[in-house]
Structure 1
Amino acid sequence: MDSFICKSEKATMDLARKMGEKAKPGDIICLKGELGAGKTHFVKGFVTAFGISPEAVSSPTFSIIQEYSGTLPVYHFDFYRLENVQEALEIGSEEYFYGEGVSIIEWPERVEAILPEDVKQIHIASINRSTRKITIT
């Protein structure tokens, strides 16, 4: 387990980009944290490792998934509004999880039953308005 203190959105995005640079096809990154903790900012930094503009990233709360095309496809899930795991299955989540891209998931606890065991867990905790503690397991 590694922990990092990020004192700005830029620091969070830089850490996320470094993680993205190590990602490979089939990786699943699970982001945990309260509303407003910085999960979407983490995704913005993460996608830059694949040549994707951070401006392309928006929270997919209403669409559940956003697909970004870069040097690898990045599948950004937000399961916050899911009522049950069946909804995730109906949109074909498992096909993305086992596909050629990298999946990054906000609110993964809502679909734990269908996630493989070897996911990377990242917990983002808000310390204050601009500082986050990011723990990777």
Structure 2
Amino acid sequence: MTGPSQISLYQCSIDLPDAEATAQLGAHLARLLQPGDCLLLSGPIGAGKSHLARAAIRCLMEENGEASEDIPSPTYTLVQTYPAGDTELWHADLFRLTDPSEVMELGLDEGLESGICFIEWPDRLGSEVPGDALTVELSDRGQGRRAVLRGPEIRWRNRLLRVENAMKGPDDTTG
């Protein structure tokens, strides 16, 4: 069995000049997600974690013929679920949790097994962090943001390369 320290990670950085770019990143990621995937969204308050998750959830719902309803931040409810065809989407905001044992009370293990999960404040998971999850770290960069995406290479590399290419503008000749 491969231990966590032996897993090869793939990482990329994407500049997000505005909220629209953050929403585009969420939509591009959504199109590549499959049941069992988990996105761990980290960054300071106001970094765009909920905005990115909402854009991804909205995209997945619409692509599966679901009505794109209001998608509130789960700050106070802790977990919101949404239908997307045969897959359930889980959006969790763990900011208010004080102990990792509280996570299992939310039923998040079910979402991690068969749904697609978006988890804000993943540090609250403690040792329960899914080893095959994609981490999306959002940080300030000038007037915009930067997203650093990192996950096990075998699971995420090809998908992240597609996201990187999709996020490049038509005038972008770098990389």
Q: Superposed, which structure 2 residues align to 1:29-48 within 5 Å?
A: 29-48=39-58
Aligned with 1:104: secondary structure? strand
Deviates more, 1:82-91 or 1:22-31: 82-91
Deviations 1:11-48 (A, max 9, x none): 11011110010000010100010000010110121113
Instruction: Specify the alignment match of 1:89 in structure 2.
Output: 104
Aligned with 1:49: secondary structure? helix
Deviates more, 1:34-43 or 1:66-75: 66-75
Output the amino acid matched with 2:16.
C
Does the aligned pair in 2 maintain the 1:94–1:114 contact within 8 Å?
no
Q: 1:133 aligns with which of 146, 150, 155?
A: 146
Cα deviation, residue 84, structure 1:
0.4
Structure 2 runs not aligned, ≥5 long: 1-10, 151-175
Q: 1:3 aligns with which of 1, 7, 13?
A: 13
RMSD: 1.4
Output the amino acid matched with 2:51.
H
Deviates more, 1:14-23 or 1:69-78: 69-78
Q: Does 1:20 align with 2:30?
A: yes
Cα deviation, residue 115, structure 1:
2.4
- Whole-angstrom CA distance in 1 between matches of 2:83 and 2:142: 33
TM-score, normalization by structure 2: 0.72
Q: Does 1:57 align with 2:71?
A: yes
Structure 1 runs not aligned, ≥5 long: none
Aligned with 2:131: secondary structure? coil
Cα deviation, residue 49, structure 1:
2.6
Aligned with 1:22: secondary structure? coil
Output the amino acid matched with 1:136.
L
Paired-residue identity, %: 28
- Whole-angstrom CA distance in 1 between matches of 2:54 and 2:105: 26
- Which of 1 and 2 has greater Rg? 2
Deviations 1:79-128 (A, max 9, x none): 000010111111222122112x2000000011031122111000000224
Deviations 1:57-98 (A, max 9, x none): 211111110111123321000000001011111122212211
